[in-house]
Amino acid sequence: MNQRTLKRPASFEGTGLHTGRNVSVCVKPAAPDAGILFCRVDLDPALRVKASFENVRSDEMRQTTLVVGDGRVRTIEHLMAAFHGIGIDNALVEIDGDEIPGMDGSALDFSRGLIEVGLEEQAVARRFLEIKEPCFVDQGDQSIVILPAPSFSISYMLSYRDDDLHDQYLSLPIVPEIFERELAPARTFCLKKEAELLLSQGFGKGANPSNTLVFERNAPIANTLRFEDEACRHKMVDILGDLFLCGKFIRGHVIASRSGHALNVELVRKLMMTNPPETPVFSKTLTVEDIQKVIPHRYPFLFVDRIENFEPGLRATGFKQVTMNDYFFQGHFPGHPVMPGVLIVEAMAQVGGVIMLSETDNRGKIAYFMSVDSVKWRAPVRPGDELRMEVEVVKKRSRFGQCSGRAYVKETLVCEADVKFAVVDK
C-alpha cells in the first residue's frame, strides 16, 4: 500500500467552535513522507507546525491544539480524523486563523471535501505502526489500551454516569468506507451543564445547536440525532484524529473507556517511546565535495558549503559561511557590505536542487528554475554571518518539483521563498 495525498487543493470555511471566529482553510497536496503540516498564513512570518504529538498542548480544554512558541492551531482533531479515516498520508493545511473551523461539528464536511478533489497515490510505501505488545494509559476511571491486531479497529465505551446521557458502546473496524458512513457524520457533543461551564470559561463561543449536540435528559436540545449512539461514535472520531499524531497508520485494536483528548495523546506519547521514529537511511551530512557530485554549480556560483539533516527527495538544511572574500561584496554596496537578496534565494534553490537531484531517478540530471513565489527578504546578511537554509519539498512529480525554503542567521529569519524546478536531462 502506497502513500496518498490530494490531487488538487480543497478549501473549507467556517467558524471555530471555541473562538467563534471565522476562518478559512486550504488543504494542499504534499510530498511523500511530508506527513500533515499546518501553516498559519495569517502570521508574519507564517507559522509552520507538524501534526505530531510532540507539538501538542494537552491542557487545552476539550480540544487538541498544536503549539510552537507563541503560535497555535486549535481543534485539529476532526480534520485529522478525516485524514486518518479516508487514508491521506501527506497534506499541507494552510489556515488564516488559530482554530480549524467546526463545520457541522463532525468530520463529514472535511471527508467529503477531500474525497471530492480526489486522492493521488504516491510512489512511496505507506508507513505503519505495528502494535507488537499491549500499551495502555489508565487514569482512575478513564482508560485507553491498544492491543496487537492485523488491522485497525476501535472499541469505545461511553459512560458519563449521568441521567442526561446514558451509557453507549460501539466497536468498528476502521477502513475508509466504514469511516465515511459510520463515523464521519457523528457530531461533537456535551452535557447542558458542561456547555454552561465551558461558556463561563471562555470556550465554546462558536458552538450552537447546528454544530454541537447539547444533551439534557438523554436527548439533544433543539436537534435530532444522526445515530442513536452518536456521542459514542464522535468519541471514536476524536480517537482517530488524536492517534494520527503518531505520523503513521496503525495496525492494532484500541479499547477505550471514558477517554478524551488528553488520554488519547498520552497513549500516542507512550507508543512512540516504545516505537521511536526510524532514522532515515539517507540522513547524513554532505561536504562541499559531495554537493558538487549532485549539482553542477562551481565557484564562484556555488553558495552552499555543507548540508545536514539530508533526506533525499524530502528535506535538508544547508549552510553558507558568508565572508568578506565573497566576490559579490566587491561591487554590491562596497561601503556597506550586504549579501544580495537574489543570491540568498539562489543559495536556498541550490539546497533544493540537491534534495531533488539526489533521488535515484534524477541523478545525473539538471534542475532548472520554473518560478519563484512568495519571496520576502526580512533582514540583511553581512560578512561573518553563517547562513542557515531550511528547505523541504512540498510537491513532487516525475519532471518537476516545488520546494519551500527559509534562510536564517542564528534565529533571525532573513529570507523565505517557494521555488519550482523543472528536472531535465543534461
Q: Count H helices, E strands: the chain?
A: 8, 25
Q: Which of 78, 84, 253, 261 is catalytic?
A: 261
Q: Which amino acid makes up residue 237?
A: V
Pairing of β 135-139 and β 142-148: antiparallel
Q: How many CB atoms lie within 10 A of CB 131?
A: 20
What gap in Å lies between CA 156 and CA 169, rounded to an integer? 6
Grid cell at residue 82: 478525516
What gap in Å lies between CA 251 and CA 148, rounded to an integer? 7
Per DSSP, the three-state class of 205 is coil
β-sheet bridge partners, residue 143: 138, 257
The DSSP line for 224-237 is --SSTTHHHHHHHH
Backbone angles phi, psi at 309, to 5 degrees: 55, 45
Alpha helical stretches, state H, 302-379? 341-357
β-sheet bridge partners, residue 404: 392, 418
What gap in Å lies between CA 213 and CA 221, rounded to an integer? 7
What gap in Å lies between CA 266 and CA 214, rounded to an integer? 27
Q: Is 84 a catalytic residue?
A: no
Angle at 274 between CA 268 and CA 277, to 5 degrees: 75
Contact 156, 170 (CB under 8 A): yes
Q: Which of 166, 234, 332, 336 is catalytic?
A: 332
Pairing of β 412-424 and β 400-409: antiparallel
Q: Is 253 a catalytic residue?
A: no
What gap in Å lies between CA 162 and CA 13, rounded to an integer? 35
What gap in Å lies between CA 58 and CA 294, rounded to an integer? 44
Candidates 390, 389, 351, 349; CA nearest to 368 is 349
The catalytic residue positions are 261, 332
